[in-house]
């Protein structure tokens, strides 16, 4: 089914101007969601029934904003039929469902949801619904929120495990944790994390308000230390002692520590009348504490609720612990890699610079490296390389390959191909299997003043030569097999003159490779942008070229070595 977004139906109010709208569908209310469940289109009848403007609906998660149980309680996502329709691609309907209106009342509806494709070619679903109760019945006060069934609790725990363990990024884990528990269990969520030096950071304070999660940054930030003798709930949770129910009365007495004062201020600022505080435990140590609170929502937390919150916090602790271990390993590898990268040598008349950018936080550290060093006879060695892999082993392999190449290059004056052949044999004998690509070049000045580049290429991307008039070409000669295959290829040498004022760019594949485009597309972009920078000083050359060239979807690290010969 194809759905086109249009404006055939007039907007509900002036506030809707510019918002996406669906054509009028007789007396039926309708909205469209994308494959993530976000509302992308809505008709006027839906805005009237829901007491919300189109602007208040477009872009919001339909499940979090609208879907409720009979008493107005939030529904776990795993029990949502509309979500099932999106996942399975089937048409589903329900004659007894409830949507939350903009004024907080609950609207009984009958609805049908069917998969569709928008005019932009995106997948999603069309939801058509209508009111099934009289206005008087629909506006009757909703009863107190019913407790979650055992099936709902198990469903929530299953979704928590699946969702939180799908990421190794701590910020994303916390974002998903809050989304899972608010407003389902409470209208406030607070996460306090222990730092590396056993300090406390209030990392998240989120409030559910008008169908949205609102961050209270004014309540976040560093906290007082955790006293070992304190018997207050948060202090005990941060020491990993136990989960506890709390209320404003818990902190009415004389505070026994600075962190107790902070809790007094939290209850006053949020208006919470009931809270459940549970330790977030990792495999080896306590990571922090999770506090869920109720303010606008009636009903205090029960002992059964506390057990559920404790289970959720335990799952969050395992996910955060994994994220911390991953980030710690990544920092070790990145630090080692940065310390191994050399300082640029001084070559009379030649400008030289190099840069290294680690992979984004969601990715692993790679084995990219550059090198430049003086050789006997007044020549200069230039190296760019990439050890296959994205982990600590790749960074360690990079260090070994780099050091062996320096040793072989400085031992005798041989053609680059012979030096790389020696390196290839040594790499094949390493205890830990390593495969790598490398360009090894020798820069020298001839007796007549010309600058010459001799090189061989072991499976790496070709260097780029940019002349001062903007002409650019890749040095594709001297290509050969990458290192570590165990074969004995015949490697070739190449030589070219570097024109006066020309710029030579060595780079790794993270600068040009993309999941959405071919390698040729990336190389063309590199050549075009490098040519446009022919007259730019080298102090900012690498940074500008990186910003303009690197594909947005590439999550690899990047190394770059750039030199310019005198005019």
Are residues 321 and 346 located together in one domain of the fold?
A: no
pLDDT class of 147 with cuts at 50, 70, 90: low
pLDDT class of 365 with cuts at 50, 70, 90: low
C-alpha of 110 from chain center:
38
Last residue within a domain, chosen from 138, 164, 191: 138
467-477 tens-digit pLDDT: 999 999 999 99
Q: Answer yes or no: is 174 within a domain.
A: yes
pLDDT of residue 20: 44
Q: What are phi and psi of 173, to 5 degrees?
A: -60, -45
Q: What is the mean pLDDT of residues 288-314?
A: 92
Last residue within a domain, chosen from 330, 361, 392: 330
Q: Answer yes or no: is 143 within a domain.
A: no
Task: Please tell me what DSSP assigns to residue 106.
Answer: E
Are residues 164 and 311 located together in one domain of the fold?
A: yes
In whole angstroms, give the CA distance from residue 207 to residue 185.
12
CB 267 within 8 Å of CB 188? no
Last residue within a domain, chosen from 283, 305, 330: 330
Q: Answer yes or no: is 296 within a domain.
A: yes
184: domain CATH number is: 3.30.450.40
Are residues 326 and 361 located together in one domain of the fold?
A: no
Q: Answer yes or no: is 247 within a domain.
A: yes
- Using CA atoms, how far residue 163 sits from 156, 174, 178, 312, in Å, is 10, 11, 11, 11
| Predicted TM-score (pTM) of this structure | 0.53
In whole angstroms, give the CA distance from residue 232 to residue 537.
61
Q: What is the mean pLDDT of residues 222-238?
A: 90
Are residues 189 and 271 located together in one domain of the fold?
A: yes
Res 249 pLDDT > 60: yes
80: domain CATH number is: 3.30.450.20
Q: Answer yes or no: is 186 within a domain.
A: yes
Cβ neighbour number for residue 277 with a 10 Å cutoff: 30
CA angle 561, 562, 564 (to 5 degrees): 155
Are residues 319 and 349 located together in one domain of the fold?
A: no
What is the number of domains present in the chain?
A: 3
Alpha helices in 182-302 (DSSP H): 233-238, 258-270
In the chain, the percentage of residues whose pLDDT exceeds 90 is 45
- Using CA atoms, how far residue 86 sits from 2, 80, 139, 457, in Å, is 15, 10, 30, 50
56-100 tens-digit pLDDT: 999 888 888 898 877 777 777 766 777 777 666 788 888 888 898
Res 330 pLDDT > 90: no
pLDDT of residue 3: 40
Are residues 371 and 302 located together in one domain of the fold?
A: no
Q: What is the mean pLDDT of residues 24-38?
A: 77
Are residues 121 and 253 located together in one domain of the fold?
A: no
Q: Answer yes or no: is 114 within a domain.
A: yes
Beta bridge partner(s), residue 558: 357
pLDDT of residue 493: 96
539: domain CATH number is: 3.60.40.10
Are residues 164 and 50 located together in one domain of the fold?
A: no
Are residues 476 and 430 located together in one domain of the fold?
A: yes
Q: Answer yes or no: is 145 within a domain.
A: no
Are residues 156 and 289 located together in one domain of the fold?
A: yes
Computed over every residue of the chain, the mean pLDDT equals 84
Res 13 pLDDT > 70: no
Could you tell me the residue range of the domain that residue 46 belongs to?
Answer: 2-138
Q: Answer yes or no: is 438 within a domain.
A: yes
Are residues 350 and 270 located together in one domain of the fold?
A: no
Are residues 292 and 395 located together in one domain of the fold?
A: no
Angle, helices 303-340 vs 392-411, to 10°: value is: 0
């Amino acid at each position: 089914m194809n759905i086109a977004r249009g404006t055939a139906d007039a907007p509900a109010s002036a506030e809707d101007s510019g918002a996406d709208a669906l054509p009028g569908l007789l007396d039926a209310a309708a909205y469209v969601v994308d494959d993530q469940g976000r509302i992308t289109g809505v008709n006027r009848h839906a805005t009237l029934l829901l007491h919300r403007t189109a602007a208040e609906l477009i872009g919001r998660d339909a499940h979090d904003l609208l879907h409720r149980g009979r008493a107005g309680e939030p529904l776990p996502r795993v029990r949502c039929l509309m979500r099932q329709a999106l996942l399975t691609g089937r048409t589903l309907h329900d004659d007894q469902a409830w949507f939350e209106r903009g004024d907080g009342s609950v609207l009984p509806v009958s609805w049908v949801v069917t998969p569709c494709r928008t005019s932009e070619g995106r997948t999603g679903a069309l939801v058509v619904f209508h009111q099934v109760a009289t206005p008087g019945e629909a506006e009757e006060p909703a009863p107190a929120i019913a407790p979650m069934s055992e099936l709902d609790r198990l469903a929530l725990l299953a979704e928590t495990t699946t969702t939180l363990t799908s990421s190794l990024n701590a910020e994303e884990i916390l974002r998903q944790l809050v989304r899972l528990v608010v407003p389902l269990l409470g209208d406030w969520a607070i996460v306090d994390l222990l730092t590396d030096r056993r300090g406390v950071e209030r990392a998240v304070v989120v409030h559910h308000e008008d169908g949205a999660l609102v961050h209270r940054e004014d309540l976040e930030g560093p906290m007082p230390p955790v006293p070992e003798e304190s018997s207050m709930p948060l202090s005990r949770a941060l020491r990993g002692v136990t989960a506890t129910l709390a209320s404003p009365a818990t902190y009415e007495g004389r505070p026994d520590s600075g962190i107790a004062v902070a809790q007094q201020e939290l209850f006053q600022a949020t208006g919470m009348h009931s809270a459940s505080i549970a330790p977030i435990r990792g495999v080896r140590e306590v990571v922090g504490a999770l506090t869920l609170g109720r303010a606008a929502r009636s009903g205090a937390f029960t002992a059964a609720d506390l057990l559920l919150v404790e289970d959720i916090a335990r799952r969050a602790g395992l996910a955060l612990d994994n994220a911390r271990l991953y980030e710690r390993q990544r920092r070790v590898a990145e630090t080692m890699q940065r310390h191994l990268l050399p300082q640029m040598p001084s070559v009379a008349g030649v400008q030289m610079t190099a840069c290294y950018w680690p992979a984004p936080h969601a990715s692993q550290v790679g084995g990219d490296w550059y090198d430049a060093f003086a050789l006997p006879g007044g020549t200069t060695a230039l190296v760019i390389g990439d050890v296959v892999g994205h982990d600590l082993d790749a960074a360690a392999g990079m260090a070994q390959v780099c050091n062996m190449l320096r040793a072989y290059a400085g031992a005798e004056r041989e053609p680059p191909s012979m030096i790389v052949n020696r390196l290839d044999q040594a790499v094949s004998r390493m205890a830990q299997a390593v495969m790598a690509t490398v360009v090894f070049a020798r820069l020298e000045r001839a007796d007549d003043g010309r600058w010459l580049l001799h090189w061989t290429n072991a499976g790496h991307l070709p260097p780029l030569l940019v002349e001062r008039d903007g002409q650019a070409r890749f040095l594709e000669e001297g290509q050969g097999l990458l290192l570590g295959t165990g074969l004995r290829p015949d490697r070739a040498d190449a030589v070219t003159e570097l024109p006066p004022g020309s710029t030579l760019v060595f780079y790794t594949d993270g600068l040009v490779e993309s999941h959405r485009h071919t390698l040729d597309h990336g190389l063309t972009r590199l050549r075009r942008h490098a040519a446009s920078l022919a007259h730019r000083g080298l102090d900012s050359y690498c940074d500008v070229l990186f910003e303009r060239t690197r594909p947005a979807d590439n999550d690899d690290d990047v190394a770059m070595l750039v030199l310019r010969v005198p005019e």
